[in-house]
């Protein structure tokens, strides 16, 4: 056995031995609830994540608070001076404080349950345990954000900054079905279409009004016609509002629109179509407001890293990997959006993200951590 093969064999063994500690660490993270909309809870969660990372790596993080939201960054080896590897995750969840009362932390039949365990606190446990078995961590950056679930409004700049300094980004988001890595993610764009009309009494003189609700109805139909189904861009009108009382011609109306695309070309095409919307009711006007957006993570951004992951899995004796394209966006979209090769879904194997019964397969924790550790080593070897 060569020294290299001996070292590779040691990674899964070390992490398998650490499995009880990994479960304990996951329990601590899950029991610290951290809904994105509660800055105090997210700050308390950052304390728990910081302790975990410092205990397993020997280095305290830099705590970064932006707009009241707590993010953590580790730069191993000091300030970036050469190619770096970015490990990306988040510690906020969609579960409000108090969810543990109805969905408590528990372990049963090889599965761990609890709010946020799958998306994505188990991924953070895997991340730091993977770093704990590396012979060196120079050139690795870890960024754990606290607002991913609401579109990364305060962490986007941090993600872009670290991604631009990195030759690869590995995202510890939960896996796709069956443990598949996420090799593509749809981009997301949110819009609000507002229509302004003119109020009038609906009984006495409705003809003197300009019905914003009717104008909006035409636009909602036009928006729905932009949708191309499961294999193309999806355009979904969501929240609609119009009018003030049941006997008044609506002066104002609005609709929120969720757009999902697989390519930058589709994004630009749909964006242009939405901005071309024009009212069909005389006396009304339209305004299109663009909300938060994530660029698509296209297959080309992950292809080389996925091939590297397949190599790492083979070297470690792990089960063959599969890849999947998914509709939801993550911080990985942001990293890929600045041109950094990005591979997502390296976190836990489990199911029911954001839903009752969310769970993680415990036996997969050390295996996925081993895969990440080897991936980091391979990228660093290729860039020395």
User: Does position 80 have pLDDT exceeding 80, yes or no?
Assistant: no
Question: How large is the average pLDDT for residues 352-378?
Answer: 97
Whether 273 and 304 map to the same domain: the answer is: no
Whether 216 and 270 map to the same domain: the answer is: yes
DSSP string, 145-205: ES-GGGT-TTTHHHHHHHHHTEEEEEE-PPP-GGG-EEEEE-EEEEEEEEEE-B--BTTT-
Whether 52 and 129 map to the same domain: the answer is: yes
Whether 143 and 63 map to the same domain: the answer is: yes
Predicted confidence at residue 96, as pLDDT, reads 97
User: Does position 140 have pLDDT exceeding 80, yes or no?
Assistant: yes
Whether 11 and 122 map to the same domain: the answer is: yes
Which tens digits make up the pLDDT trace of 206-262?
999 999 999 999 999 999 999 998 889 999 999 999 999 999 999 999 999 999 999
CATH number of the domain where residue 128 is located:
3.40.630.10
Whether 334 and 349 map to the same domain: the answer is: yes
Query: Which residues are known catalytic residues?
Result: 92, 148
When divided into structural domains, the chain yields a total of 2
Question: How large is the average pLDDT for residues 30-45?
Answer: 98
The domain boundary, picked from 294, 326, 348, lies at 294
The pTM of this model reads 0.91
Average pLDDT, the chain: 95
Whether 141 and 8 map to the same domain: the answer is: yes
Predicted confidence at residue 8, as pLDDT, reads 62
In contact, 162 and 86? CB cutoff 8 Å = yes
Whether 168 and 46 map to the same domain: the answer is: yes
Predicted confidence at residue 2, as pLDDT, reads 37
In contact, 286 and 218? CB cutoff 8 Å = no
Whether 117 and 157 map to the same domain: the answer is: yes
Q: Which residue, 138, 117, 142, is CA-closest to 129? A: 142
Which tens digits make up the pLDDT trace of 285-319?
999 999 889 999 999 999 999 999 999 999 999 99
DSSP string, 276-327: T----STT-EEEEEEEEEE--B-HHHHHHHHHHHHHHHHHHTPPPP-EEEES
The domain boundary, picked from 294, 311, 344, lies at 294
User: Does position 350 have pLDDT exceeding 90, yes or no?
Assistant: yes
The domain boundary, picked from 294, 318, 336, lies at 294
Whether 23 and 149 map to the same domain: the answer is: yes
Whether 41 and 172 map to the same domain: the answer is: yes
Whether 266 and 364 map to the same domain: the answer is: no
Return the number of other C-beta atoms located less than 10 Å from residue 61's C-beta. Answer: 20
Question: Poorest-confidence range of 5-9, 48-52, 220-224?
Answer: 5-9
CATH number of the domain where residue 236 is located:
3.30.70.360
User: Does position 79 have pLDDT exceeding 90, yes or no?
Assistant: no
User: Does position 6 have pLDDT exceeding 50, yes or no?
Assistant: no
Which tens digits make up the pLDDT trace of 159-192?
999 999 999 999 999 999 999 999 999 999 999 9
Could you tell me the residue range of the domain that residue 282 belongs to?
187-294
């Amino acid at each position: 056995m060569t020294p290299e093969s001996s070292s590779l064999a040691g990674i899964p063994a070390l992490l398998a031995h650490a499995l009880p500690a990994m479960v304990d660490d996951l329990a601590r993270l899950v029991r610290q609830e951290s809904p994105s909309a509660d800055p105090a809870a997210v700050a308390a969660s950052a304390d728990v994540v910081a302790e975990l990372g410092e205990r397993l790596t020997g280095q305290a993080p830099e705590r970064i608070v932006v707009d009241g939201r707590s993010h953590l960054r580790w730069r191993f080896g000091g300030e970036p001076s050469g190619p770096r590897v970015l490990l990306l995750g988040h510690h906020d969840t969609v579960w409000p404080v108090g969810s543990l009362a109805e969905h408590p932390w528990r372990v049963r039949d090889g599965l761990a349950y609890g709010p946020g365990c799958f998306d994505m606190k188990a991924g953070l446990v895997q991340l730091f345990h993977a770093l704990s078995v590396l012979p060196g961590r120079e050139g690795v950056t870890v960024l754990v954000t606290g607002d991913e679930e609401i579109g990364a409004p305060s962490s986007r700049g941090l993600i872009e900054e670290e991604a631009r300094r990195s030759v690869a980004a590995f995202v510890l988001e939960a896996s796709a079905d069956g443990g598949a890595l996420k090799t593509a993610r749809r981009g997301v764009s949110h819009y609000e279409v507002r229509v302004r009309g003119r109020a009038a009494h609906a009984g006495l003189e409705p003809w003197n009004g300009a019905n914003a609700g009717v104008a909006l109805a035409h636009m909602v139909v036009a928006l729905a016609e932009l949708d191309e189904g499961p294999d193309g861009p999806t355009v979904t009108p969501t929240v609609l509002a119009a009018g003030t009382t049941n006997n008044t011609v609506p002066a104002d109306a609005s609709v929120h629109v969720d757009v999902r695309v697989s390519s930058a070309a589709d994004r630009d095409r749909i964006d242009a179509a939405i901005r071309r919307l024009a009212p069909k009711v005389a006396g009304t006007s339209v305004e299109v407001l663009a909300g938060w957006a994530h660029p698509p993570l296209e297959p080309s951004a992950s292809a080389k890293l996925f091939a590297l992951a397949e190599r790492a899995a083979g070297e470690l004796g792990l089960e063959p990997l599969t890849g999947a394209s998914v509709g939801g966006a993550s911080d990985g979209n942001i990293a890929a959006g600045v041109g950094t090769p990005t591979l997502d879904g390296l976190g836990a194997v489990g199911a029911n993200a954001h839903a009752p019964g969310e769970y993680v397969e415990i036996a997969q924790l050390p295996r996925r951590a081993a895969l990440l550790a080897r991936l980091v080593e391979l990228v660093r070897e290729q860039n020395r």
